[in-house]
Amino acid sequence: MKALGRHILVEFFDCDSARLDHLAGVEVAMEDAARRAQATIVQSVFHMFQPHGVSGVVVIAESHLAIHTWPEYGYAAVDLFTCGETVDPWIAFDVLRDAFGSQRWETKEFRRGELTDHPGEVHYKPAMAVA
């Protein structure tokens, strides 16, 4: 059965709270995770909340990586949604687990866009225009 993508929902527990509450550090970790998973970064947007917490998304040509942190609980919720055969979301998972110092985690993986009766080749993403 063909699927357009893989979507891993991650809950990181018992993380280093300071790392989860550092906007630049979270952004660097997320972009590093995308690159190391062999994704093509299109754009990143991150926001620091007051009194604490970071939310952000790395838009990749193959879908997205998103995060919401609760440093006060040592917790981060992460979505790793990738399309195609070349990007490995589990590599991104490993990078983020280590970056945030998570001591415990839970994951659920879903196949997105299962195409049961689509004949022929599945195209995962459009060709990127070069500026």
Which residues are the active-site residues? 63, 68, 83
Q: Can you give the residue ranges of every domain in the chain?
A: 2-115
Rounded to whole angstroms, how far apart are CA atoms 88 and 34? 9
What are the Cα distances from residue 23, in Å, to 30, 42, 100? 11, 19, 12
Local confidence pLDDT in tens for the 131 residues of the chain: 577 899 999 999 999 999 999 999 999 999 999 999 999 999 999 999 999 999 999 999 999 999 999 999 999 999 999 998 899 999 999 999 999 999 999 999 998 887 766 565 655 555 555 44
> Residue 125 has what pLDDT?
55
Q: Report whether 32 contacts 81 (CB < 8 A).
A: no
The CATH classification of domain 2-115, taken from the options 3.50.40.10, 3.60.90.10, 3.40.30.10, 3.40.50.300: 3.60.90.10
pTM of full prediction above 0.85 = yes
